[in-house]
Amino acid sequence: MEVKIKSMKYEDFKDNEYLENLVAELNAAGTNVVVGCFDDLINWGRSNSLWPLTFATSCCGIEFMALGAARYDMARFGFEVARASPRQADFIMVAGTIVHRMAPVLKRLYDQLAEPKYVVATGGCAISGGPFRNSYHVLKGVGEILPVDVYIPGCPPRPEAMFYGLMQLQRKVKVEKFFGGVNRKQKRQEFFEGK
Amino acid sequence: MATIQEKISALVPEATFSESGQLYVTVPDAQWHKLAKALHDDKESPYDYLIAIVGADWGETLGCVYYLESTSTAQRLAVIVQTADREKPMLHSVCDLWQSANLYEREVYDFYGIVFINHPDMRRLFLRKDWVGYPLRKDYNADPALNPIRLENEESYDTSYSVVEKEDGTLEEQRPVIFTPEQYVVNIGPQHPATHGVLRLRTSLDGEIVTKIDPYCGYIHRGIEKLCESLTYPQTLHFTDRLDYLSAMQNRHALCLCIEDALQIEVPERVKYIRTIMDELMRISSHLLFWATFCMDLGGTTAFFYGFRDREMILDILEETTGARMSFNYNTIGGVMADLHPDFQRKVKEFCRYMPGSLKEYHELFTGNVIAQQRMKGVGVVSREKAISHALTGPSGRASGWACDVRKRMPYGVYDKVEFNEVLRTEGDVFARYMVRLDEILESIKIIEQLIDNIPEGDYALKMKPIIKLPEGRYFRQVEASRGAFGVYIESRGEKYPYRLKFNTPGLMLVGSLDELTRGGKIADLIAIGGSLDYVVPDIDR
């Protein structure tokens, strides 16, 4: 099965293998046709209206703002409704360094996001701590406290890179099992219980 | 007229003097407050501007270096005060003389554990209350087991801690109240779009009137100063781009200048020209971003798109030469990373022709708007004296009539060769700060136009050794960043690593003044005032 994204060709994406594994997993689960069709429909809607939570701590946040401005215009992909409240957002774009003092706040914001929810780690700091990795007050990546769906490397990533990352998130959303899958709190449990 | 040395010696006979680029005075703590008061109230040249307090760990003792300046005579003085011991380090506070000392001393307390006697509010500034140890001390235990990632919410305390000296000289611990139980306290931030980053303001309200603001910093405190102590000088450079990412060029310029000063090297003329042009381009892009976000905070969403549209033009120019849109990593010790792109001059000139028309559009779109004017004029007024006391430099200080532009006071680069006006206003309100920034864009264009055709040929960088050792001493250098005077303090012991490297950022002082500026105003004015101060949070927290 090919996961179609309107804006970019399938072969232009880098990690199709990962996605194919997800599809194979989905196929192996053997979903009912009717439910599967509904899954498709809902995922189509969800993937084209992913609303980010405005959560910018540093440099990457400015590039995220550039994403919203006219030149890059993330409205083309359906990301434009950046919400200030986690209750109304679908994913959290962790743009910038996460430090010890911020960690509980970020965790709380994540908890307040409605399911299904996603985390995008943007920039070197959010991925691994970046240039501040050895600092006493910096987390070695947001992955230490939250399950991350997409990593966007760069310091800060270019707006194009952010789009690429967000399109990867769209693709991921498209192959998810919605009913009995992500509409339950499965993923969260796996992450936090595995710890 | 007695020299400053004679005056100090007359007052504090124990004082010792040394010269390292400027005058350094070492005084014992017991005499420090008396001396500070005399300096602050001096008739001939009152030292009314406290530039920085640099905490330091000197092995046996801890202490602080105070950088003072007289705004009337431009004289500078640095005072070194040491604590008696490491176990219970204490110094006398000077926050009754300079209001900027309030947050500076809290910062030193946070990093070094020095308690300031008579400081009304000795809380940690950047780190959590339950943080173990003082991270910038040389013997800090960085074991992650001591300070694990805490996911439980931080408690906000309504009382503080302070040590007060009584008349007979004994010390008494007190618990000053920040917010009484009757006060209605609203929490703004750390995740709030109008705080321009992750700043947290505990705001007490009486209806719609703001009665007090208690800023909490540190939500993006990255410990840069500690990291620098274990990196070589060329390695420390890249942090400056990530402090105040909207004045990346200027910040890096400051650190490079400070290191070049210490090495006593003169960079080629071409480098000076390039650096100056880059600084000004950066300033324009920062002011454009200010305009975009500030107008959006006040409800003008269209402005956001206009501001970003024009900012992208600068980013394109910078990207061609430096290869990056934001973290440029362009200045290096002794030069710049790469030569200018062949298209650079043409594109910059194009931009200089284009921008004034755009500014006119901005004024038509927003400045003249009745609603905008009513929200800006007469709001958040800060007088010249207060601006100096709070050390509000940059456009915020100049909006209050304080001629604090480092480019004029202590020219670096080629600022002494160009003609430009220091934009000054006297109202000191939000509108003045807004207008100063927009007018500064024009001045920056003027500077660039004078330079762009005259860039001399030559090398774009000096050949430097990979390992640079600075001669022993203290070095302090300031440049005018987009938001104010950005200072770099380096203490070298002759090694390849800095013994202490401090970034004296303008942002912290902007936040320090927030309480006074907003008091008595409406809560909506808080957003306007915060926007007009235009702080960048990683610049505050470092």
Segments making up each domain of chain B, as ranges: 4-176, 224-454+469-541
The domains located in chain A, with CATH, are 50-169 (3.40.50.12280)
The full DSSP string for A149-169 is SEEE-SSSPPHHHHHHHHHHH
- Chain A closest CA to B200's CA: distance in Å? 11
**ipTM associated with this complex:** 0.84
| pLDDT bracket for residue A189 (50, 70, 90) | low
Helix, strand or coil for residue B196?
Answer: coil
- Is A60 annotated in some ligand binding site? yes
When pLDDT is averaged across residues A170-187 and rounded to a whole number, the result is 74
- Is A59 annotated in some ligand binding site? yes
Contact between A132 and B219 using a beta-carbon 8 Å cutoff: no
pLDDT on residue B284: 92
Contact between A59 and B193 using a beta-carbon 8 Å cutoff: no
Asked which of A12-21, A143-152, A185-194 is least confident by mean pLDDT, the reply is A185-194
The residue of chain B with its CA nearest to that of A67 is B308
Contact between B227 and A135 using a beta-carbon 8 Å cutoff: yes
Of B135, B218, B239, the CB nearest to A131: B239
CA distance A39 to A31: 10
Q: Chain B contacts of A145, Cβ < 8 Å?
A: 149, 151
Residues 6+ apart with CB under 8 A from B519: B210, B211, B212, B213
On average, the pLDDT of chain A sits at 83
Residue type, B50: L
CA distance B335 to B411: 18
Of A57, A84, A136, the CB nearest to B223: A136
Of A96, A97, A100, the CB nearest to B149: A100
pLDDT on residue B84: 79
Query: Over the stretch B515-539, which tens digit does the pLDDT of each residue have?
Result: 888 888 888 888 888 888 888 888 8
Neighbours of A29 (CB within 10 A): 11
**First-residue to last-residue Cα distance in chain B:** 42
Contact between B308 and A69 using a beta-carbon 8 Å cutoff: yes
Contact between B149 and A134 using a beta-carbon 8 Å cutoff: no
Residue A156 contacts B where some CB pair is shorter than 8 Å: yes
Kindly give the parts of chain B with pLDDT less than 50.
1
Neighbours of B528 (CB within 10 A): 26
CA distance B403 to B405: 6
Residue A143, Cβ density class (10 Å: 0-12 exposed, 13-18 middle, ≥19 buried): middle
Q: Chain B contacts of A131, Cβ < 8 Å?
A: 238-239, 242
CA distance A153 to A165: 9
- Is A125 annotated in some ligand binding site? yes
Q: Does domain B4-176 have CATH number 3.40.309.10?
A: no
Q: Which of B540, B522, B538, B537 lies closest to B298, judged by CA?
A: B522
Contact between B135 and A136 using a beta-carbon 8 Å cutoff: yes
- Chain B closest CA to A22's CA: distance in Å? 31
Residue A6 contacts B where some CB pair is shorter than 8 Å: no
The residue of chain A with its CA nearest to that of B127 is A101
The residue of chain B with its CA nearest to that of A104 is B151
- Chain B closest CA to A131's CA: distance in Å? 8
CATH (residue range B224-454+469-541): 1.10.645.10
Which H or E run contains B286?
helix B269-297
The residue of chain A with its CA nearest to that of B218 is A101
Q: Chain B contacts of A62, Cβ < 8 Å?
A: 245-246, 289, 326
Residue A138 contacts B where some CB pair is shorter than 8 Å: yes
| The residue to which tokens 């500030």 are assigned | B294
Contact between B538 and A58 using a beta-carbon 8 Å cutoff: yes
Residue type, B217: C
Residues 6+ apart with CB under 8 A from A97: A57, A58, A125, A126, A129, A130, A132, A138, B220, B222, B538
Contact between A145 and B151 using a beta-carbon 8 Å cutoff: yes
Q: Which of B381, B476, B514, B478 lies closest to B102, judged by CA?
A: B514
Q: Which of B293, B276, B255, B212 lies closest to B536, judged by CA?
A: B293
pLDDT on residue B513: 87
Residue A193 contacts B where some CB pair is shorter than 8 Å: no
Residue A135 contacts B where some CB pair is shorter than 8 Å: yes
CA distance B226 to B229: 5
CA distance B472 to A50: 56
Residue A81 contacts B where some CB pair is shorter than 8 Å: no
pTM of the model: 0.88
Of B135, B218, B220, the CB nearest to A58: B220
Query: Over the stretch A51-93, which tens digit does the pLDDT of each residue have?
Result: 888 888 888 888 888 888 888 888 888 887 888 888 888 889 8
DSSP state at residue A180: I
The residue of chain B with its CA nearest to that of A86 is B191
Residue A100, Cβ density class (10 Å: 0-12 exposed, 13-18 middle, ≥19 buried): buried
- Secondary structure of B503-539 as H, E, C letters: EECHHHHHHHCHHHHHCCCEHHHHHHHHHHHCCCHHH
Residue A84 contacts B where some CB pair is shorter than 8 Å: yes
CA distance B507 to B486: 9
pLDDT on residue B2: 63
Helices (H) and strands (E) in chain A, counts: 7, 4
